[in-house]
Amino acid sequence: MPNEISLKYGCNPNQKPSRIFLKSGGALPVEILNGNPGYINFLDAFNSWQLVKELKEATGYPAAASFKHVSPAGAALGLPLDATLRKIYFVDDLELSPIACAYARARGADRMSSYGDWVALSDTCDRQTAALLAREVSDGIIAPGYTDEALEILKSKRGGRYNVVKIDNDYTPSPIEQRDVFGITFEQGRNDARIDESALQNIVTENRDLPQSARRDLIIALITLKYTQSNSVCFAKDGQVIGVGAGQQSRIHCTRLAAGKADNWYLRQHPRVLSLPFKSDIRRPDRDNTIDVYISEYWLDVLKDGVWENFFTSKPAPLTPEEKREWLMGLSGVSLASDAFFPFGDNIERAHKTGVKYIAQPGGSIRDDNVIETCNKYGMVMAFTGIRLFHH
């Protein structure tokens, strides 16, 4: 392993010189197997690696994450996919190993945001995962290892320039972190808060029935938030993230953003969306963008402009607002976590519309009573974790 790696530039081309190294002077825990990762690539790599490693340790399942701009677009466990999920994630023609299932779920949560992502895997990247990645637009990957077949596939991606990073699975960082801002050094203890089922013991609502599947999903959401730019809120269901609201100045905007993404995730499973008559030669990013527009309120404008002819063999009937509302009523059993307390019950009201049943948050607001009361109104289960998860 090298002692330092020189980078092309920092966050922007004018920010030079740029490198990564250990202040202790020791060898870095990473090795570049292909490509030339940049400053932001490594920020995504190290944050996403911590997320998937903690998910694997907390659940025992292989885990994957899809990162963009130092926040996850998706994160998931390697659980099998049913026929509908295989179709909406566009992997119904692939053989999927558990770690490949994890990445299919992570990328499929929000395919628009995952365009050009950084990938993190908790386990060795195998042929199946590499084959999935080979046809997606992605900047790079970090994993503890790669099979020979997987590495051969990945090295051929992006004209041989795809970034492939191997990390030492046993690397443990210093308990003290430092960084410089405006020429001034900040220092703090590393956020080593352990998130497991013990964080969900303090249930404060009338409904105290928290099934094992919900505990798993809340742990996924909480660990995801630990590596998401704050303020942040995360929706999870069936072993995967389905919506992240990151970097917002108000918590209600986090909740609205995450809920909107979760709604889109579920609307993509509508029979009308599954049967859209795409042309055979449409590019994958164009297809994803078109599905997003089809679900949105802008589709009627697209129909008027005749742009649909660029993508479909026949004119698709729109999903009416009434049809969307009726379909979304079928979304239930969703888990929701927040990186800090909910200050008002409006967050719970919005979450309820997206099928949220289970909530984990630190608690500690002067309006906790109002938030609990709103949860009780809808029969939700809410646990106070006592753990704030700000990440900046």
Within this chain, do residues 294 and 356 fall inside the same structural domain, yes or no? no
Cis bond upstream, residue 231 (ω within 30)? yes
Token pair belonging to 74: 């998706």
**From CA 118, how far away is CA 108, in angstroms rounded?**
14
**pLDDT band at residue 92 under the 50/70/90 scheme:** very high
Does this model's pTM top 0.85?
A: yes
pLDDT at 370 (0 to 100): 94
pLDDT tens, residue by residue, 211-235: 999 999 999 999 999 999 999 999 9
Over residues 270-283, mean pLDDT: 92
- Whether residue 352 sits in one domain with residue 304: no
Same domain (yes/no): 231, 254: yes
Contacting residues for 186 by C-beta, under 8 A, at least 6 apart: 178, 179, 180
Are 284 and 132 in contact by the 8 Å Cβ rule? The answer is: no
243-254 average pLDDT score:
95
Residue 185, Cβ neighbours under 10 Å: how many? 8
Domain count, the chain: 3
Mean pLDDT across the stretch 73-80? 97
Residue owning tokens 């945001």: 113
Whether 294 is in a domain gets the answer: yes
Average pLDDT in the 158-183 region? 94
- For residue 152, what are the contacts with CB-CB under 8 A and spacing of at least 6? none
Mean pLDDT, range 101-122, rounded to an integer: 96
Query: Is residue 141 scored above 80 in pLDDT?
Result: yes
Query: Are residues 143 and 62 part of one domain?
Result: yes
Structure confidence at residue 335 (pLDDT): 98
Indicate if 119 and 39 belong to the same structural domain: yes
Q: Has residue 251 got a pLDDT over 80?
A: yes
In a domain, 140, yes or no: yes
HEC secondary structure over the chain: CCCEEEECCCCCCCCCCEEEECCCCCCCCEEEEECCCCHHHHHHHHHHHHHHHHHHHHHCCCEEEEEECCEEEEEEECCCCCHHHHHHCCCCCCCCCHHHHHHHHHHHCCCCCCCCEEEEECCCECHHHHHHHHCCCEEEEEECCECHHHHHHHHCHHHHCCEEEEECCCCCCCCEEEEEECCEEEEEECCCCCCCHHHHCCECCCCCCCCHHHHHHHHHHHHHHHCCCCCEEEEEECCEEEEEEECCCCHHHHHHHHHHHHHHHHHCCCHHHHCCCECCCCCHHHHHHHHHHHHCCCHHHHHHHCHHHHCECCCCCCCCHHHHHHHHCCCCCEEEEECCCCCCCHHHHHHHCCCEEEEEECCCCCCHHHHHHHHHHCCCEEEECCCCCCCC
The CATH number assigned to the domain holding 332 equals: 3.40.140.20
pLDDT at 26 over 90: no
High-pLDDT (> 90) share of the chain, % = 88
pLDDT at residue number 317 = 86
Say if residue 314 is in the same domain as residue 348.
no
87 & 163 share domain: yes
Q: pLDDT confidence of 310, banded at 50, 70, 90? A: confident
- Specify whether 85 is located in the same domain as 208: no
| 131 contacts 153 by C-beta, under 8 angstroms | yes
Q: Is residue 298 part of a domain?
A: yes
Do 148 and 263 fall within a single domain? no
Q: What is the pLDDT of residues 39-49, one digit of tens each?
A: 999 999 999 99
Q: What is the pLDDT of residue 25?
A: 82
Residue-level pLDDT at 376: 97
Q: Are residues 34 and 102 in the same domain?
A: yes
With a cut of 80, say whether residue 297 has pLDDT above it.
no
Domain that holds residue 284: 276-318
State the average pLDDT for the chain: 94
Instruction: Assess whether pLDDT exceeds 80 at residue 300.
Output: no
pLDDT beyond 80 at 301: no
- pLDDT at site 306: 73
The answer to whether residue 130 is domain-embedded is yes
Measured in degrees and rounded to the nearest 5, phi and psi for residue 95 equal -85, 130
Q: How confident is the model at residue 296 (pLDDT cuts 50, 70, 90)?
A: confident
189-199: per-residue pLDDT in tens?
A: 999 999 999 99
- Asked if 335 and 356 count as a contact pair (C-beta separation under 8 A), the reply is yes
Question: Region 263-287: what's the mean pLDDT?
Answer: 93
Tell me, yes or no, whether 85 lies in a domain: yes
Q: What is the crossing angle of helices 251-267 and 284-295, to 10°?
A: 110
In a domain, 15, yes or no: no
Q: Is the pLDDT of residue 23 over 90?
A: no
Q: Residues 203, 263: one domain?
A: yes
Q: Picking from 136-140, 217-221, 270-274, 279-283, which range would have the lowest pLDDT averaged per residue?
A: 279-283
CB 63 within 8 A of CB 50: no
Output the CA–CA distances (angstroms, integers) from residue 382 to 65, 202, 204, 233, 371, in the order listed.
Answer: 26, 8, 6, 15, 10
pLDDT at position 318, please? 87
User: Alpha-carbon distance 90 to 22, whole Å?
Assistant: 40
Mean pLDDT score, 276-293: 90
pLDDT the model gives residue 247: 94
Query: Quick one: tokens of 188?
Result: 């703090």
In a domain, 288, yes or no: yes
Residues 280 and 263 in one domain: no
Contact in structure between 13 and 25 (CB atoms under 8 Å)? no
Q: What does DSSP say about strands 334-338 and 356-361: parallel, antiparallel, or unpaired?
A: parallel
Q: Which residues are catalytic?
A: 68-69, 231, 392
Band of pLDDT at residue 108, cut at 50, 70 and 90: very high
206 within domain boundaries: yes
The two three-digit tokens of residue 236, written as one number? 């999870």
- Residue 315: predicted pLDDT: 86
